[in-house]
Structure 1
Amino acid sequence: MTTGDQHGLVIVGASLAGLRAAQTLRERGFTGAVTLVGDEPHMPYDRPPLSKRVLTDADRPPGVELPVPDGLEARWLLGRAAVGLDPAARTVTLSDGTRLSYDGLLIATGSAARGWPATQPPPPAGVVTLRSRDDALALRAGLDSAERLVVIGAGFLGGEIAAGARERGLDVTLVEAAAQPLERAIGTTAGTYVAALHRQAGIDLRTGTSVEGFVAGPDGRLTGVRLSDGTAVTADLAVLALGGVPATGWLAGSGVAHDGGVHCDPCLRALRADGSVVPGVVAAGDVARVPQPLADGEPLALGHWTNAVEQGAAAADTLLAERGHGGTPAPFTAVPSFWSDLHGAKIRSVGLPSASDEARIVEYDLPGRRLEVGYHRAGRLVGALTVGRTGRLASYRRALEEGLAPATAAEAPAAV
């Protein structure tokens, strides 16, 4: 296919969603220029192993590089972040002063780790976050010499870090402000199940409490953590696992609505604050806030691996369709899914458990490491979660796919 593009397509974000978008463009026959911009110096790599095998493999950290297919013929601009966007001029400005012109732009900048609040005194040395490959290698090195670890936040990332550290023999305290781990994501009952897994593994799980501050020794390094319940925990290493923040700071002044993530229409086209479409700009992955049919159209940003893959491909298709190649843009209606492995238990989910108002327990067998929960919203199935029952998810997925009302591109406004 010959497009006649002068500047080609620019993808800001050289990770999973960005790579999948570039692959899709070539698979669809696009022969124009494709440029990928990444703020890290590394070629695309897989993030799920960073909180798992990279921390726990005994001999050496495993490779996490994503395969880049032969024939991709992309220009890679790595180690330089995007710092500005001008949709009217169709240019992206990079941290080194480079201005890239584009005919179509895909925003796939993902999210950054949420740090310690700026309103509080800064934490001492020994308090870290985990988001990048370099972060994971630094944390692995820290675990090599640490004895007592505190993980702040018992979400998916925090739970996996705590599990990996416990597997390595460290004393681990896991602090969670909610009543149960993952309560907002999977509900109270499944959260209670996860809490039991942590405690059976020997993790000191503190729920319903938060961190008020840190204690440092004469050398300025962490020696303890102060909790809101008045207790203190000794620690020589702590990890902030407080969730992610969509990487949208560079969009300030661009006119793209980006609070809580880039606002998108059902076809993944970026929107202005008034709801109109920004011409030639789409978004995908952690940074994209997209209407979710299972949540009655509520815009959500989902930080899941499968979401990045599927949205990367769909956003590329929308870019091509907007340029007259491949028909009209199609709404993104893929059923979300996620997974996590904790203490040998395989947690798998489809749909949006977090969007439910009712959890129906089908099986709850902690000794047998089995759990099955169906999630409903106003009586309608919106998600399911299993532990040790992965095979049962296929029927839930089919039901979710059948239950989604067909969406059409007519639901989205035209680009102007």
Structure 2
Amino acid sequence: MAQEYKLKGITSLALKPGEKLEAEVEGLDTKVLLLNAGGNVQAVGSRCTHYGAPLVKGVVGANGTITCPWHGACFNGKTGDVEDAPALDPLPVFKAIERDGAVYISGDAAVIKNGYRKPNFQCAASGGDKVLVVGGGSGALGVIEGLREKGFRGAITLITNEGYLPIDRPKLSKALMTDLGKLQWRDESWFKSGSVDIVNDEVTSVDFATKTVTTKTGSKFAYTKLVLATGGTPRALPLPGFRELGNIFTLRTVHDTKKIVSVIGEKGKKIVIIGSSFIGMEVAVATAAGNQVTVVGLEKVPLERVLGEKVGAIIQKGVEAKGVKFYLSASVEKAEPSPSDPSVVGAVYLKDGTRLDADMVILGVGVTPATEYLKGNSQVQLEADGSIKVDESFSVIGLEGVYAIGDIATHPYHGPGGDGKLVRIEHWNVAQNAGRTAARHIVDPTVKPRFYTPVFWSALGSQLRYAGNTTASGWDDLILQGDPDQGKWVAYYAKGETIVAMASMGMDPVMAQCAQLMSLNKMPTKTQLIGGLDVLSLGPPE
């Protein structure tokens, strides 16, 4: 039942558009966020519903959206609804009134304390389109929840071969988490409440003409709308020993993580990580304590391909401080068995003859689009990398009622410097936002797709934040602000005068501000940033 609660120490609702203020609710031992969302002053939950980031450190745009400072989740400040991934639950909204020199909010005590509300998901399916979703990752969850939130009442079937419901996959490499109770975003009862049928099977073929898919068990499923969200397959190394020996792992699923954690055991292990990618670097940090960890990479510095040599060197220094050793500009030649157990790996040899003793090896050498079930299908044309070309709504080119999202989708990019060029982006929030875009198009094809700024984060000792994309345009200059030695810096990637991406550590609000500015195509120029411009000084993006 709604009641009035006084906000401690707040005397006025005189907030300018874009202004926000965190306030304690008397008697409830919790806080809310007062904000002026596009001219409407009210209170919302104070923490992001994704990982609990304090939204007071986020950025409120002049249009009333608020962007989380940690991972780029975006909410409608007027309704509390989720605008951008990775958040799933909306914010609660509370009416605020000013009376007798004090400010009060009205709401249910339990909702105020929880700080979130569940989306409109419950549904009894009743005819109409049959949506079939293939794959159980971030994109699949985005499309399923997006459909129900937008009022879709048709049948939804999810086919997944992972053996569990959609999980928070980034926690696998960032924290080596294995507890499904903590990893699964929603439990089975949640999906049942929305009339979503879960099928634990693997799709082996699709007949786009008859609109049916066939699974490994021989079952057939009909659809009127099909969403392909099968993600990526980790690459293996086609080198001697790597396919034959045990204790050599890729990391993509909970099953992979459980095997890795089991071999690490009580620690004290020699762990060789092949690949200085984000997965490889995150695992290095996650396993560094109590183990001897070595990273082997082809690049001059870790993450050079994405972040460049200067930023990669900053990251390397921070990770080395945790005891991780690097062999860079290095190639692997072979893996050899352990003398005590010939069935498992005992050493990795580099091409220069270096021997690295190993109790286990973890591969972080990238993924390929998981589209094996479509190879040889004359009804669809795969790109050279095995991905599927889609339009802005993530509709597959040349196929009616079929969508592809996530790691398998090559799509037009309309962010800064993009100009509609085709890209494939392997980000958690890109997949989920693509799912929401596809859901919106299924419900109402006349709605114009909205651009979402790609955002990702990485646990590299300190938390790295990244917004934008350099794949479409490339970059030719880097502007570094802040002090890397103090762990507070932001790097801007420029193509000519256009800032196409940014990365930061210890300056989270900057990422939130840039994500909003990029979505509006209003990032400052390279010259302005070289001159020392602080993007936070620009105020609410509009």
Whether TM-score is above 0.5 comes out as: yes
Identity of aligned residues (%): 27
Moved more, 214-223 or 280-289: 214-223
Cα deviation code 1:263-287 (max 9, x no counterpart)? 111221112xxxxx21110111122
2:412 matches 1:291: yes
CA contact (8 A) 1:186 1:353 kept: no
Shift of 1:116: 1.8
Residue in 2 that maps onto 1:136: 257
- The equivalent position to 1:400 in structure 2, one of 505, 515, 518, is 518
For residues 338 and 298 of structure 1, what CA distance do their matches in structure 2 show?
20
CA deviation profile, 1:97-150 (whole Å, cap 9, x unmatched): 111111000011111111122798624111111100111111111111561000
Structure 1 pair 89–119 and aligned structure 2 pair: CA distance change class (3 A): farther
Match of 1:21 in 2: 143
CA distance in 2, matches of 1:393, 1:140: 33
Query: Partner letter of residue 305 of structure 1?
Result: W
Q: Is the 8 A contact 2:226 2:402 kept in 1?
A: yes
Q: Retained in 1: the 8 A contact 2:241–2:336?
A: no
CA contact (8 A) 1:155 1:241 kept: yes
Cα distance between partner residues in 1 of 2:288 and 2:245: 23
Cα deviation, residue 308, structure 1 = 1.6
Q: Which runs of 4+ in 1 moved over 3 A?
A: 1-7, 118-121, 353-356
Q: Secondary structure at the match of 2:401?
A: strand
Distance in structure 1 (CA, Å) of the matches to 2:244 and 2:228: 32
Matches within 5 A, 1:83-232: 83-117=204-238, 122-144=243-265, 147-167=269-289, 169-218=290-339, 219-220=341-342, 221-232=344-355
Match of 2:390 in 1: 264
Q: For 2:489, give the aligned amino acid.
A: L
Q: Structure 1 CA distance, aligned partners of 2:308 and 2:448?
A: 32
Classify the secondary structure of the residue corresponding to 1:279: coil
Aligned partner (choices 420, 435, 439) of residue 316 of structure 1 = 439
Q: Higher helix proportion, which one?
A: 1
Matching residue within 506, 517, 526 for 1:388:
506
Q: Does 1:238 align with 2:361?
A: yes
- Pick which of 391-400 and 14-23 moved more: 391-400
8 Å Cα contact 2:336-2:347 kept in structure 1: yes
Q: Which residue matches 1:274?
A: none
The structure whose Rg is larger is 2
**Which residue of structure 1 lines up, in the alignment, with residue 199 of structure 2?**
77
1:247 equivalent in alignment to 2:370: yes
Does the C-alpha gap of structure 1 residues 327 and 269 become closer, same or farther in structure 2, counting only changes over 3 Å?
Answer: closer
- Following the alignment from structure 2 to structure 1, what is the Cα–Cα distance between the partners of residues 220 and 505? 49
SS at match of 1:14: coil
Aligned length: 389
Contact 1:83 1:95 in 2 (8 A): yes
> 1:243, 1:319 → 2: CA distance?
32
Counterpart CA distance in 2 for 1:404 and 1:251 is 40
- Is 1:33 paired with 2:155? yes
- Whether 1:336 and 2:444 are equivalent positions in the alignment is no
Name the structure 2 match of 1:410.
none
Matched to 2:217, the amino acid is D
Match of 1:360 among 478, 491, 497: 478
Unaligned runs of 5+ in 1: 272-276, 321-325, 406-416
Q: Aligned AA for 2:257?
A: A
CA deviations on 1:342-382 (whole Å, 9 max, x unpaired) are 12x11001111454313433325333112211112232111
3-state SS of paired residue (2:301): coil
8 A Cα contact 1:176 1:210, kept in partner: yes
> Mean Cα displacement is larger for which, 100-109 or 7-16?
7-16
Residue identity matched to 2:163: P
Q: 1: CA distance between counterparts of 2:180 and 2:142?
A: 25
Q: Is the 8 A contact 1:216 1:222 kept in 2?
A: yes
Structure 2 counterpart SS, 1:403: coil
Unaligned runs of 5+ in 2: 1-122, 524-542
**CA separation in 1, counterparts of 2:241 and 2:411?**
33
Distance 1:304 1:404 in 2: 23
SS state at 1:229 partner: coil
Once residues 119 and 105 of structure 1 are traced to their aligned partners in structure 2, the CA distance between those partners, rounded to angstroms, is 40
2:210 counterpart letter in structure 1? A
